[in-house]
Structure 1
């Protein structure tokens, strides 16, 4: 059985394609990393910390003051949330505002917490 040159080229192409797909598959992330801070559980943890801090404070803090307080909180995991900065806090707040349409600022959240505490 004599195979033509085009048949050998097709076999080499298919083998190369299979090896390339396997190589790509091995390098794609298949599990979450230990310091992955993009999940919903991390978002919920940060919102809980945010609400605890705003409940403790009498005055409405600025974004930088709030960031400092959040990073000093006892539940804040510095190893997992090492990327958390004021910009991430702004993104967290914007996402929270989208989920809660009656909130538009830190002051609104602060007032909402303190008004529900009095009831």
Structure 2
């Protein structure tokens, strides 16, 4: 059986392409990380924590105060939410503002929670 150079090149190309795809697949994450705080469950937990902190302080908070009180709260899991920062808090507040168009600040969120 006489194989031409182009046939050998095609065979080696396919072999190395399969090896390359396998190497990429082996390093892609296949399962959810335990400390991933972007999942719907983690977002729900952070929203619950944010609402409870707002309710405990009667809505009289600035964003910075809300951020620090959330981190100091007993329900805050610093191992799970180690990436929590002001930007993440702004995202949570933005989500609440989108769901409740009549809310424009933390005091309005408190009024919604209270009702």
TM-score (norm 2): 0.92
Aligned counterpart, 1:39: 39
* Aligned pairs for 1:40-59 within 5 A: 40-59=40-59
Aligned counterpart, 1:68: 68
Decide which moves more: 50-59 or 95-104.
95-104
Decide which moves more: 49-58 or 2-11.
49-58
Measure the CA separation in 1 of the matches of 2:40 and 2:58: 29
Measure the CA separation in 2 of the matches of 1:47 and 1:97: 12
Q: Which has the higher relative contact order, 1 or 2, with Cα contacts under 8 A spaced 6 or more apart?
A: 2
Aligned counterpart, 1:24: 24
Measure the CA separation in 1 of the matches of 2:71 and 2:30: 30
The answer for unaligned runs of 5 or more in structure 1 is none
Is 1:82–2:82 an aligned residue pair? Answer: yes
1:113 Cα shift?
A: 2.2
The answer for unaligned runs of 5 or more in structure 2 is none
Kindly report the root-mean-square deviation, in angstroms, between the aligned alpha carbons of the 2 structures. 1.3
TM-score (norm 1): 0.89
